[in-house]
Each structure stands twice: as structure tokens, then as C-alpha cells.
Structure 1
Amino acid sequence: MVAVALAAATGSLETIQHLAETVLFRYTMTTLALMLLVAVFTAIIGTGTAWLVTMTKFPGVRFFEVALALPFAFPAYVMGYAYTDFLDHPGAVQTTLRSLTGWGPRDYWFPEIRSVEGAAIMLTLVLYPYVYLLARAAFLQESATANIAARSMGRNAWSAFFAVSLPMARPAIAGGVLLAVMETIADFGTVSYFGIQTFATGIYTSWFSLADRAGAAQLALCLLSFALFLAILERTQRGAARNYHAGKRFERVPPVALFGWHRIGAIVACAAPVFFGFVLPLVLLFEMGLGSEQDLFSDRYLGFIQNSIILASVASIVTVGSAFLLSFNVRLNPSKTSMFAAHVSRIGYAVPGGVIAVGLLVPFALLDNTIDAYMRSTFGIRTGLLFTGTIAVLIMAYAVRFMAAALNTVDAGMTTINPSTDAVARTLGRSPLQMLWSVHIPILRPTVLTALLVVFVDVMKELPATLIMRPFNFDTLAVQAYRLASDERLEGAAVPSLVIVMVGLLPVIIVCKTLARKNTSSRSAQADTSHLA
């Protein structure tokens, strides 16, 4: 962040004036429009479906409560590739429409998928699970006592939902919406492919197309300000709101059975996000992949897969290892310094990949130039670029971007270990690092594997930082998919996109199993209570 601010400050006033006169207003309005649309759509879809599967009973509710998380496996840019091929002028939908009606290309109007609204829909389809998962967890934790009190005062089910359930779940819903919005401003692949000019695309254009690093840094500073404002807002709203269970006994709100049109409406409301966010794009990608000339088992594609796996594996090990050290340091020494370090390391989740790339490339390029100048003047040797454009700096970017995901997972596991375990290990002569290696990590093996898997998949999907910082001739599946889609070779882009989606399903399946296990436990407890009553 310091490097971005300094690089922006060293740029001339002419650069920022030129940006203000030409693209800054457009970047701002487009980014704000995307943020607003995604915030509204994800709040409605995520909250509505979470309430339906938690508070009501209808056929298929057990299936929908886990299937609604599946669109999480799709990167937004992959969703955009699939729907563009399906809905564009030469796509299946418009081709069928023209063949059935006999219309010509100019005889009808059809919504343009490559638009701000289209990008917002693509982002909504993959980001609403943020709101769904958090809202559902909040609804599951609500006690029936407050709901019963509202119903006893004459409220019907819908009125009780808006008066009691929704306000109690507001912090979780707001947190999910803000996470979705932060992912929206960080998105590069979707808006770039759709030709939408946002801060994310402006940074890439200024850095590479215009070779204007000062302009890129100034745009990155604007986007960083956006991201940090949202991060502070998320932290503030999460820390300010509290709700407590009424009464001494916790009872879940009994689900209400739906009948007639209400039942049909609930099924349609839950099936639509699953179908349009997972089933249809997956089918489209398979169909596109079968019709392409891309050979997944060719040496070239095996190289893409190998590069992706190397980057994701190294980044996940470095990131999760660092997260363990940070979390363990807070556990051993919960001082203001250690807690501040943990909080600062979480900021990366709110910083777009393009901003991180600029923030790392600027100081390392300066370091490379300084070393090269010294070696030439002293020894007559040209060292070139020692750090810039290397895997090591790219791994740094991944660690910064995804440290929050790893640290949150590790912290959740650390809280389950009784502090007396640490005391016993220390009395047996274990040093802190020995205790971490021989006691905590074996106990937290499932947590370690989950954190590694989450970061692994996030790195596989990451595009802007990889696109800007990757070593020369070191392409990944995400970069290959973006390159083919940019050349309008969507059928070819489907092949690497499918691999990314298949890998992305792994953590989603873990989340789904956890949700199903928790729901089964709560249903069993309810059944036992009903039997005793």
C-alpha cells in the first residue's frame, strides 16, 4: 500500500489531470454501478434463498440447502465466457429465435450480454453464495422465542420475518454483501472481456498498453481507497451489531410447511440460482469444450496445468504456513502488536489483485534497477531483472491476497484447542515451535487441509495479479482461458475454464458436507425434543 501511494505521489499532476478529464469519471461511475447492482441482487437472492431453506419445508429443501452453494465454484469470468457464447448474436438462443420467427439481424431487440448489467448478473450468480452462507448460518442460530413472541402479538410469518428474523440476521447479511462488493471491485476478467471500463481494467491498460506506470499507480490508489473503505465498513458493521438469545434455552425456529402456490414459488426461487449459476453454465462449457480443438492432454496444456499447480501449491503452503505463525503468535502472546499484525495481514482480502501487483512491482523494479546500476558502475556487469517477473514475487502477491482466507480458517481451528494443552506441552519441555509442529498441527490436520485447499483453489482462479506479474512464457489455465476468450475463441476457452471449475468444486463440496452435517444434527435434536414432548 505504501508503494502504491508513493508511486502515485511521484506521478506528475498532468497525469492525474489527464485521467480526471478523460476516464476517471467513467471508471468511477461504472465501478459504482456494478457495486450497487451486485449488492442489491446478491442481498435479495442470498437472503431469500437462505430464509426459504432454513425457515420453511417444501419438496427438495435438503437438496437446495447444499446446491445453492455450488455456483461458488465458478469464477465470474468463466461464467461470462459460457453465457456470451450462449446469448450473443451467433449463439444458440438468438440463432434459434431467428430460425423460428424468420427475423433478420435488425428485426428484433435482444438484451446485450456485454454490458454493465450483464457483468452484474454474472458477478451476482457467482457471489450470492457469500450472502446465502452467512445469512443461513445466522438464521440457524436464531432462537424460536423471539419469533414466537412476534407471532403471539399478531404477526404472520412474513411480518415476523421482516420484524424479527431479518433485523437479527442483518450483520451477517451486510457482511456477505460487502464481501461480494469487494470481490466485484477486484474483478478483472469479466469486465475486461465484456469491454467495461472500470478501475481494474484501467490499471492494466495504463500499465501495459500505455506504459504509464504513474497513471496506473494513481488509478490503483483510487481503487485501494475504495477497497479499504469497504473493509473498514465491513469491520465496523460487524463489530457494532449484537443480538442475544432470549431466554435460558435455545430452540430453533420450527420450519413452516408450504403448500400450493407457495410451495411451487419456493421451489422455483431456489432452483433458478442453481440452474442459472451452476447447471446451465456447466453444460454450456462441456458442450463448448467438446466442439473445440483444444487437447487437454497435449504438452502445451499439460504445461499450463503444471504451472497452475506449481503456483497454487507453493502459494498455499507459504500462505497457510504464514497464517499458522501469525495465529500461533497471537495465541502465545496476545499483545496489541501481535493482534495488530494479524489484523493488518487480513487487509489483503479487500485489495484487488491489480493493486497488489502494482504495489509489489514498483518497489521490486526500483530494487532491480538499483542493483543493476551498481553492478554496472562497479564491476561492469549487467544483472537485469533479478526479482521483477519472477515466481517468488508472484507468490508474495498471492500470499497478500489470500492471507485472510487462510488466517480465518486457522483461527477457527485454534479456538477449539484448550489452552491447557499448551501448558501441558510446555511443562514437558516443548518449545513454542516444537509445540506447534508436534501438538497443534496434528490436532488441526483437517483445518490445515481445508486452509490449503481453499488457498489452492483461490490461486487457481486468480487472474489480474497473475496476468500482470507472471514470468515470461509462464502461462496458467486462467491466463490461457482469458487469452482465448479475448481472441473470441470461446470454445477453446471452455477447456481450461472447465478444469478451473472442477478444481473449484472441491472446497464447495467440503462446505456443502459441513452444512448438511450441521443441519442433520439440528434436525435430529429437534426430533428428539419433539419425541420427549
Structure 2
Amino acid sequence: MIETAVLPARRGLRLPSTLSGIAGVAVIVVLAPLLGVALAAARGPWAGLSVGTLTDYATTSAVLAVGVGVLASLLGVGSAWLVAQYRFPGRGAFSWLLVLPLAAPTFALAYGYADLLDVAGPLRTWLRQDFDIEVPGTMRSLPGSVMVLSLAFYPYVYLAVRDALLNRSSSAHEAARALGASPARVFWRVTLPMARPALAAGLALTLMETLADYGAVSFLSVQTLTTGVVRVWSVNGSPASAALLGLPLIGTAAALLILERWSRSHRAYGVHAGGWRPVPGRTLTGWRAVLATSACSLLLVVAFILPLGWLGWNGLQSTPEWPRLAAAAGRVAALGVAGALVATALALALALAGRGRPLLTRLAGLGYATPGAVMAIGLLVPAGLLWRAMPGPGWMFGIGLVLLIYAYASRLMAAALEPIASALTRARPSMSDAARALGRTPLGTAWSVHVPLASGGLLTAALIVFIDVVKELPATLILRPFNFDTLAVLADAYARDERIGQAAWPALMIVVVAMPACLWLTRRISRARPGGSPQGDD
């Protein structure tokens, strides 16, 4: 979802200086908060932070990332293999239903499972009272966080691997079978190696999101680097300490971005559009078909229906505060639209002016890989200077909103860039030449020729940014103006007070808002094959 494809330079198309300037501004928008983090960390003093605390945060983050990476890969690869390789009842529906966890914020799954499976939860109470079975452990732990985040993020692996398996050509498969290889050997020696770059890309995205998560791990009492950033800022009031915790996150984000880009550059291995033929899926019957349908159904229930269903049941047992919910929904809708417009506009300029300039798009990609909490900390120093210079509280409120939209745009611009850049590949040099021959300026050519061609990509980019803004929590907590609650902030406040029934309403409202856009994007992304024909799901 964040691949920042670089368009090849077009001969005969001169880049408009205005767009080049805007593209430069877009890169500065991404890099400025990261530079602010480095400067804040260097200034000190580091209140409330010791070497031991920093080590504990880093160790917990590393263990969490490894656990989520392994479990999410198993879930994502297994479900993608079933959907792409076999035909069984419900396969067409599962192909898009299995991405539904992407529409839910991680903290919603955490609320549902913490209440359902904790020591005093109804399930364990029932097992203890009726069957005298004592289940060890608690959901508010590192293993509980691994479980929740794996269920929330496995769709990144699923989408990447499913796309690779569906788009592989049958030529290598047929050659291996002609040499006498068994189906199992073909999978391990041909199919899996060809899908490995896609797995690496999905895994990199999963690890980025895991390290950036705040709502779920904070509620489940797991102290990671990201929760530490928010904690030392809010409790100790130390931007320098928060920035120091953010530096290893930025370094890890850069490494994961390099891994993701490397995997993208190898994704076309073995796929040739000219002679591409799909690998025929094997039809399952009898108990094998029942087993495949049951496995996909179980994953969907565990990752989406069960936690959100239980959360909804809790919500029905409480009385929602409708005025507060309506106000929060209006605020997050306005922020989502504003963030989508700004990020999409900057991404469009970068896509148009960044042709032949891969460094610009690589730098923009660093923003998405950086956690929102770290981006927000990088903006605190200029925010403080602006607030002190303003004559009244009204100005402070407006500056807070501007900085919040800035944080969204700087982090999500790379997510908007990929669909726009992909849409612009349809622009031919002859189109630009014809527009210039009719007297269009370079900027007018971009507006009248390239922007209409990229309209579908622009809509996709705007929806991607909107979904992420609606679910965003840590950056909003740090930068929001006083008493400015979004749905995510409201859910977090209720959950901290252990009012899970009240927290269910804003959490589920986020799911309702994000689900249609998420499903539309998923079906759009999974529809194209190397030959340009749509994919048909049974």
C-alpha cells in the first residue's frame, strides 16, 4: 500500500518549475519533523529516562516485532495459499473478507479481547466455574499484544503473498512438473521462492505498523518505544527524552523501508506479461473443502467478528454519550478530509516532478515508516515557539490543528504517492507533446493531461489517507488542541477509565467509517493481473 513507484523520465516533457518547487516542499515536509526529533534529542536534558529504561523499551519492542512478524507471516501466508491455490466453497468471499481487520483500529481488537479473555472475563470465568479449568496468563501482557497485533496486521502479508501467488505464471510451474517434481516440491522449490519478495514486503509493512502501534499495546500494559515516547512526554513533560526514544524507531523504520523497497524491486521475478498464463487452481471436494472453508472462517471469526462482536455487545449494555460522539465524529471527518487533501496534493506534485529523481520519493517514503508519535514529537519544538509568539488562545487552537494536519501529511504522503504514480504510468509522451503543441504551458499540461489520467489514483490515495487519519491515535494525542477529541482519542479515554462499553461506540464507529473504503481499495488493488485482465474470484 505504500510502494512509492518512480516513473521513468519522459523525453520531450520538461518538468514545470512550480511542480518541482512543490515537490521539494513535500520532501521538506517529511524531513522537518525527523530533523526536529534529532535536534530535540541532542538538546536534552533527558528527564525520566535512564539507560535501563531505554534498554527495556527497546527489548520489548524487538520481542514484540519478532513475535508479530512470525505469527502474522504464518497466518498471512497460510490464508493466501489457500485462497490463491485452491477452489472451495466461499473462496471468492474469503478473498476479500480476510482483509477486514485492516478496517479496525488495533485498540478495538485489544478492548474486545482484553474484556473477553482476561482473568475475570466471561470466557475464563465460565471455564473456571463450570469445568474447573484454570487458564494461565493474561491478555494484558506481551503474548496478548503479539496475538492482537498479529490478527490486526496479517492482512498486509496476506495481500502481498496472495497477489504474488495469483500473478505467477504457469510456465515455471509446468516446467517443474515436467521434470517430475511433486506438487509439494513445486511449492517449496518454485512457488515459495517466487513469492518470497512479496512476503518480505508484507512483513516489512507489518513490522512498521507493529513498532508504530500505541493504542493496543498501551491498553494491554506493554511498554514499547512508542508507548515510551508518549509516556515520557505526557508524564515527565520532556520532549528531549521522547525524542531520544524516537531515534531508534527512526533508524529501524529506515531499515524496514530499505527492506520493503528491495522486495518491491524483486517482485517481478519470474513474471512476464507477454506470455503470462495463470496457474490453474485445484478444486477441493469432500472433507478437504470443508477443512479449507473452516480454516478461513475461523481466521475471520478470531481476527474480526469475535472481538468486535463482543465489543459491540458491551456497547449495547451502556448508554452512549451521543453529543460527545457526534462532535468527535465531525472532528475526525474534517481532519480526515483535510489530511487527505493536503497529503494527496503534495503526493501528486511529487509524482509529477519526481520522475527520474528517485531520491525524492525514497525520502518521502521515510515518513510512512516513522511512527506518528515520533513525527509529533519532532513538531513540538516549533509548536512551542509558535504558541509563545501568538497573542491569544484562539491562535493556539488554530496552530494545533495546522500542526496536526501537518503530522498526518508528513507521515501519509508516501502512502498516497504509490497509487498516483501508478496511475500516471498511462501518460504517454505524445499526450504531453500534443498539449504543448496546442499552446499549453508545462503546468497547464500537467493539469489538463496528467491529472485527469490520475483521477482514479487520486481517489485511491485520498481514501488511503482518510482511513489512516480516522484510526490515528498517538500523534493526535500529542498535538491536538485542548479538549479536541477525535473518535480514537475518545475511545482511548474511555478505555483508560475501564469503561469498555463506552469505548465500544467510538471504536466501532471507526470500523463502520473505514470498512467500505477498505473493501473498495482491496478489490481495486487485487483486480489487476500482469496481462492487464481483471482477476476473477470464485
TM-score over 0.5 for the alignment? yes
Name the CA shift for 1:235/1:388 in 2 (closer, same or farther; >3 Å).
farther
Instruction: Please say if residues 69 and 207 of structure 2, whose CA atoms lie closer than 8 Å, have aligned partners that are also in contact.
Output: yes
Instruction: Please say if residues 115 and 121 of structure 2, whose CA atoms lie closer than 8 Å, have aligned partners that are also in contact.
Output: yes
Residue of structure 1 in register with 2:121 after alignment: 91
Name the CA shift for 1:212/1:33 in 2 (closer, same or farther; >3 Å).
same
Which residue of the other structure, out of 427, 431, 436, is the alignment partner of 1:421?
431
Which residue of the other structure, out of 228, 235, 240, is the alignment partner of 2:254?
228
Whether 1:345 and 2:364 are equivalent positions in the alignment is: yes
Whether 1:489 and 2:499 are equivalent positions in the alignment is: yes
Deviations 1:91-110 (A, max 9, x none): 22123223423x5xxx7234
Question: Matches of 2:304 and 2:117 in 1, distance apart?
Answer: 16
Instruction: Please say if residues 41 and 240 of structure 2, whose CA atoms lie closer than 8 Å, have aligned partners that are also in contact.
Output: yes
Which residue of the other structure, out of 357, 362, 369, is the alignment partner of 2:381?
362
Which AA in structure 2 matches 1:59?
Answer: P
Displacement of 1:517 in angstroms is 4.9
Displacement of 1:226 in angstroms is 1.7
Residue of structure 1 in register with 2:341 after alignment: 317
Instruction: Please say if residues 436 and 445 of structure 2, whose CA atoms lie closer than 8 Å, have aligned partners that are also in contact.
Output: yes
Residue of structure 1 in register with 2:471 after alignment: 461
Task: Tell me the TM-score normalised to structure 2 length.
Answer: 0.87
Whether 1:66 and 2:96 are equivalent positions in the alignment is: yes
Displacement of 1:443 in angstroms is 3.3
Residue of structure 2 in register with 1:180 after alignment: 206
Residue of structure 2 in register with 1:189 after alignment: 215
Question: Matches of 1:309 and 1:242 in 2, distance apart?
Answer: 38
Question: Matches of 1:395 and 1:460 in 2, distance apart?
Answer: 12
Task: Tell me the TM-score normalised to structure 1 length.
Answer: 0.88
Instruction: Please say if residues 368 and 387 of structure 1, whose CA atoms lie closer than 8 Å, have aligned partners that are also in contact.
Output: no
Deviations 1:190-215 (A, max 9, x none): 11101111001111111110112221
Which AA in structure 2 matches 1:343?
Answer: R
Question: Matches of 1:286 and 1:382 in 2, distance apart?
Answer: 42
Residue of structure 2 in register with 1:138 after alignment: 164
Displacement of 1:508 in angstroms is 2.0
Instruction: Please say if residues 145 and 246 of structure 1, whose CA atoms lie closer than 8 Å, have aligned partners that are also in contact.
Output: no
Which residue of the other structure, out of 303, 328, 338, is the alignment partner of 2:352?
328
Question: Matches of 2:135 and 2:94 in 1, distance apart?
Answer: 35
Which AA in structure 2 matches 1:215?
Answer: S
Name the CA shift for 1:412/1:522 in 2 (closer, same or farther; >3 Å).
closer
Displacement of 1:344 in angstroms is 1.3
- The Cα RMSD (Å) is 2.6
Instruction: Please say if residues 426 and 453 of structure 2, whose CA atoms lie closer than 8 Å, have aligned partners that are also in contact.
Output: no
Which residue of the other structure, out of 70, 82, 86, is the alignment partner of 2:112?
82
Which residue of the other structure, out of 139, 149, 157, is the alignment partner of 2:175?
149
Q: More relative contact order in 1 or in 2 (CA 8 Å, sep 6+)?
A: 2
Which residue of the other structure, out of 41, 44, 65, is the alignment partner of 1:8?
41
Deviations 1:72-111 (A, max 9, x none): 111111110111121123322123223423x5xxx72344
Question: Matches of 1:116 and 1:436 in 2, distance apart?
Answer: 50
Name the CA shift for 1:141/1:114 in 2 (closer, same or farther; >3 Å).
same
Name the CA shift for 1:300/1:523 in 2 (closer, same or farther; >3 Å).
closer
Residue of structure 2 in register with 1:302 after alignment: 326
Displacement of 1:248 in angstroms is 6.5
Displacement of 1:15 in angstroms is 5.5
Secondary structure of the structure 1 residue equivalent to 2:50: helix
Displacement of 1:237 in angstroms is 3.9
Which AA in structure 1 matches 2:291?
Answer: G
Question: Matches of 2:526 and 2:208 in 1, distance apart?
Answer: 28
Whether 1:502 and 2:512 are equivalent positions in the alignment is: yes
Name the CA shift for 1:415/1:469 in 2 (closer, same or farther; >3 Å).
same
Identify which range, 109-118 or 121-130, moves more after superposition. Answer: 109-118
Instruction: Please say if residues 365 and 387 of structure 1, whose CA atoms lie closer than 8 Å, have aligned partners that are also in contact.
Output: no
Question: Matches of 1:250 and 1:437 in 2, distance apart?
Answer: 35
Question: Matches of 1:457 and 1:416 in 2, distance apart?
Answer: 26
The percentage of counterpart residues that share the same residue type is: 39
Question: Matches of 1:222 and 1:245 in 2, distance apart?
Answer: 37
Which AA in structure 2 matches 1:439?
Answer: V
Question: Matches of 1:113 and 1:483 in 2, distance apart?
Answer: 20
Question: Matches of 2:344 and 2:273 in 1, distance apart?
Answer: 40
Name the CA shift for 1:335/1:411 in 2 (closer, same or farther; >3 Å).
closer
Residue of structure 2 in register with 1:272 after alignment: 298
Name the CA shift for 1:7/1:518 in 2 (closer, same or farther; >3 Å).
closer
Instruction: Please say if residues 58 and 258 of structure 1, whose CA atoms lie closer than 8 Å, have aligned partners that are also in contact.
Output: yes
Residue of structure 1 in register with 2:277 after alignment: 251
Name the CA shift for 1:428/1:62 in 2 (closer, same or farther; >3 Å).
same
Instruction: Please say if residues 200 and 259 of structure 2, whose CA atoms lie closer than 8 Å, have aligned partners that are also in contact.
Output: no
Instruction: Please say if residues 324 and 407 of structure 1, whose CA atoms lie closer than 8 Å, have aligned partners that are also in contact.
Output: yes
Within 5 A, what are the aligned runs for 1:346-425?
346-369=365-388, 371=389, 386=396, 390-425=400-435
Which residue of the other structure, out of 432, 449, 458, is the alignment partner of 1:448?
458
Instruction: Please say if residues 228 and 242 of structure 2, whose CA atoms lie closer than 8 Å, have aligned partners that are also in contact.
Output: yes
Question: Matches of 1:247 and 1:7 in 2, distance apart?
Answer: 50
Instruction: Please say if residues 219 and 495 of structure 2, whose CA atoms lie closer than 8 Å, have aligned partners that are also in contact.
Output: yes
Question: Matches of 2:393 and 2:139 in 1, distance apart?
Answer: 48
Instruction: Please say if residues 526 and 535 of structure 2, whose CA atoms lie closer than 8 Å, have aligned partners that are also in contact.
Output: no
Displacement of 1:285 in angstroms is 2.7
Identify which range, 244-253 or 268-277, moves more after superposition. Answer: 244-253
Displacement of 1:411 in angstroms is 0.7
Which residue of the other structure, out of 32, 42, 51, is the alignment partner of 1:20?
51
The number of equivalent residue pairs is 503
Identify which range, 135-144 or 246-255, moves more after superposition. Answer: 246-255
Name the CA shift for 1:514/1:234 in 2 (closer, same or farther; >3 Å).
closer
Residue of structure 1 in register with 2:18 after alignment: none
Name the CA shift for 1:302/1:46 in 2 (closer, same or farther; >3 Å).
same
